[in-house]
Structure 1
Amino acid sequence: MKRNMSWWPGFKTLDRYILSKFLKTYIFAIAMITVILVVFDYAERVDDFTATKAPMSAIILDYYVNFIPDFINQFSGLFTFISVIFFTSKMAYQTEIIAMLSGGMSFRRLMWPYFLGAFAIMALSLSLNLWVIPTSQIKCEEFRRQYFPKKKNEQFDRHIYRQMSPGEFFYVRGYNRSNSASYMVLERYEGTRVAEALEASSVKVDPKTRHWTAERYIIRRIDSLGVEHFEQHRDLDTLIDIDIRELGKVDNVVSTMKIEELNGFIEQQRAKGSDSINIMEVERHCRYAYPFATFILTLIGVSLSSRKVRGGTGLHIGIGITLCFSYIMFNRVFEEFAKSGSLPVILAVWMPNIIFAIIGIYLYRKAPK
């Protein structure tokens, strides 16, 4: 018994022609802007490279090789959109689209090779987001901290306050890459008041064992009447259940985690009652939402540029860039809503896709049939 393959429109010479134009234009656009970016970035940072004596092999292999994937991925949707509009409007201007539709091809069928190209780009973007970029970000950040003077102390905030569990809070001041800090406080709350606090200066931590040590420390207890009792001790050596990664800036930390690590870290922080869960959830959902937008932007691009109009390619590209930057702006705005808790994270992150999917469907219905 033969299977029903009506959903599969096949892959004909015309499909190969459109798909080839799509991917070649996309790759060319990405390659050109990447070369321009590298040239300008190198010109801007050459003084830092010279001052810190960064070897050329490290500049290329540790910095640019790891920096470029993130840049490509950030603007993949924009370049997909521009690529689709550029060659489709050119085909429309040369009446190729009209010839295809007049020959009996439906507009829906015309979309097939475009969506194949969009799927390939989405798969690449998704792989970069989930696994490749987090690894490359680690290497890139290590290079920046070593060779960019202004980046040396940007990994950690001056004052770090974290919740370890309900009722237990950890504060550290002046934490640095040598795993030491100028001051540390471990507080336990009963209701809204501090019941007990451990304070120490000039502390060090072993990242593997999570043991914090100091020559001297104070234990401060506050009874129910509000009276404080102090105890001075020597040779602090205590286990504090806090991952060293939690001490870094949240945005920087989660951007260096593969998706499996990020999922585990979010669950760990949720169990501790962390107030940074929204930031982590935004990072997780964005890794899926941005690649999926490739389909939406492709639909808008084809629907918008398939009609022959006065002004040709230039007009289409102008409208397309306006829409694309509007999409990027919507993303940034809704991300901030999600991080602040003004909207549920999943709704806020996916809202730009929903809005532009509606625009895409509208333009698709208005496209020449």
Structure 2
Amino acid sequence: MKKLDLYIIRKFLGTFFFSLLLLLCIVIVFDISEKLGKFLENDVPVKAIVFDYYKNFIPYFANMFSSLFTFISVIFFTSKMAYSSEIIAILSSGISFHRFVVPYLISATIIALLSFLLGAFVIPNANTHRIDFEKQYMDKRYTNKEQHIHRQIAPGTYIYMSSYSVTSNVGYDFSIENFKGDTLVDKLTSSRISWDKDSSRWVIYNWKLRKIDGEKETYTTGSRLDTVMAFQPSEFSENPSKIKEQLSFPDLNRYIERMKLRGSSNIVDFQIEKYKMIANAFATFILTIIGVSIASRKIRGGMGFHLGLGLLISFSYILFMQVSTVFATNGNMNPLLAVWTPNILYTVIAIFVYRTAPK
């Protein structure tokens, strides 16, 4: 059985990496043709294109479609084995279908671990370099300035700035409000706020503090106030969709916990990103079992039918994942349930097709 195991593992991984490499080559060619005008227009150095953009773009794209290509690889080489009667010979020799699936699961484990490690630790760092490249050379709309910022920085504490300069770390028309329940306790307003790197403190200029105690109100003013507040300049440097792409699995956990302590409700996207890292890796096992169960059966239509059915199932899985995450982002669906619902449904499908596979 060791020879058979190695044969299937070699076929599985070889087909997977070859098909993924082939797709990446095609994608890079199309991406270069699409962005060539911008590269030339912005005088982007070839070294930056290769090592700052495509070196970091390739892992991101490859991992995004790893589950899909796992499924297609299983369908492809298992169909070839079925139509050359290799599977019939293996099962006729007394090897059970359960034992036949073992090398598939070993290969799926290798791909799933690789996918998780890439997504949780390698790709976030690569995304940082890729996004920096895009901001520097490609996205001319990036102005280094955030507009009309509203944030909850702690339970009952809210800040506002009409604008914030990322390059100078200066905010304008700043205000901070503290609430006790629904009642405003105090509000501080100022014309300008800036970050002092030396002291790691915020400096508030031309400030006015209004305190409310029942029907009594008091006012205090000043020209400068050095203070510590529960937010950092780095929080304004990127929008949330960019931040989540650059956080590793441990960093995502810390970021989510920090947002929870502040009482922020804007953490759904980050929770989805965290749960996807595990769910996508687990999907490798589900799609592998579905693939081998379907493709091991010799039916009319040949390999083309198997590949067509495989593509239909894999794309329906991706569509279902997108729809469920939209419900979590824009609705009231629990993020964990939203991410894992496709896996739960397709696990049921996997069990069904596995039980009906030729034994």
**CA 1:49/1:218 → structure 2, altered by over 3 Å: closer, same or farther?**
farther
1:38-49 alignment, distance < 5 Å: 38-49=28-39
Secondary structure of the equivalent of 1:174? strand
**Structure 2 stretches of 5 or more lacking a match?**
none
Alignment-derived partner of residue 4 in structure 1 = none
Is it true that 1:55 corresponds to 2:45 in the alignment?
A: yes
**Given that residues 144 and 151 in structure 1 are in contact (C-alpha distance below 8 angstroms), is that contact kept between their aligned partners in structure 2?**
no
1:97-246 alignment, distance < 5 Å: 97-150=87-140, 152-153=142-143, 158-178=147-167, 179-206=169-196, 210-222=200-212, 224-225=214-215, 231-246=220-235
Is it true that 1:274 corresponds to 2:264 in the alignment?
A: yes
Is it true that 1:300 corresponds to 2:298 in the alignment?
A: no
**CA 1:287/1:232 → structure 2, altered by over 3 Å: closer, same or farther?**
same
- 1 CA distance for matches of 2:61 and 2:172? 37
**Structure 1 stretches of 5 or more lacking a match?**
1-10
- 1 CA distance for matches of 2:139 and 2:243? 20
Alignment-derived partner of residue 249 in structure 1 = 239
C-alpha deviations, 1:182-232, integer Å up to 9, x for none? 33221111332333222233432246855233543333445534x876554
C-alpha deviations, 1:236-290, integer Å up to 9, x for none? 4332111334333223212212222221222221111111232222121111111
**Given that residues 299 and 360 in structure 1 are in contact (C-alpha distance below 8 angstroms), is that contact kept between their aligned partners in structure 2?**
yes
**CA 1:51/1:345 → structure 2, altered by over 3 Å: closer, same or farther?**
same
Aligned residues with identical type, % of pairs: 41
C-alpha deviations, 1:320-358, integer Å up to 9, x for none? 111111111111122223334622222221111111011
C-alpha deviations, 1:118-173, integer Å up to 9, x for none? 011011001011110111111111111101134524x8753322212221111223
**Given that residues 116 and 277 in structure 2 are in contact (C-alpha distance below 8 angstroms), is that contact kept between their aligned partners in structure 1?**
yes
**CA 1:16/1:262 → structure 2, altered by over 3 Å: closer, same or farther?**
same
1:262-341 alignment, distance < 5 Å: 262-340=252-330
Secondary structure of the equivalent of 2:207? strand
Among 342, 357, 360, the alignment partner of 2:332 is 342
Alignment-derived partner of residue 69 in structure 1 = 59
Secondary structure of the equivalent of 2:164? coil
**CA 1:47/1:221 → structure 2, altered by over 3 Å: closer, same or farther?**
farther
Counterpart amino acid of 1:186?
Answer: I
- 1 CA distance for matches of 2:254 and 2:200? 18
- 1 CA distance for matches of 2:321 and 2:233? 30
**CA 1:323/1:65 → structure 2, altered by over 3 Å: closer, same or farther?**
same
C-alpha deviations, 1:99-126, integer Å up to 9, x for none? 2112222111111111111011011001
Secondary structure of the equivalent of 1:317? helix
Alignment-derived partner of residue 18 in structure 2 = 28
**Given that residues 278 and 341 in structure 1 are in contact (C-alpha distance below 8 angstroms), is that contact kept between their aligned partners in structure 2?**
no
Secondary structure of the equivalent of 2:122? helix
Among 68, 79, 83, the alignment partner of 2:73 is 83
Q: What is the root-mean-square deviation of aligned Cα atoms in Å? A: 2.1
**CA 1:176/1:83 → structure 2, altered by over 3 Å: closer, same or farther?**
farther
**Given that residues 156 and 249 in structure 1 are in contact (C-alpha distance below 8 angstroms), is that contact kept between their aligned partners in structure 2?**
no
C-alpha deviations, 1:63-101, integer Å up to 9, x for none? 111111111111000011111111111211222111211
Q: TM-score, normalization: structure 2?
A: 0.92
- 2 CA distance for matches of 1:354 and 1:60? 40
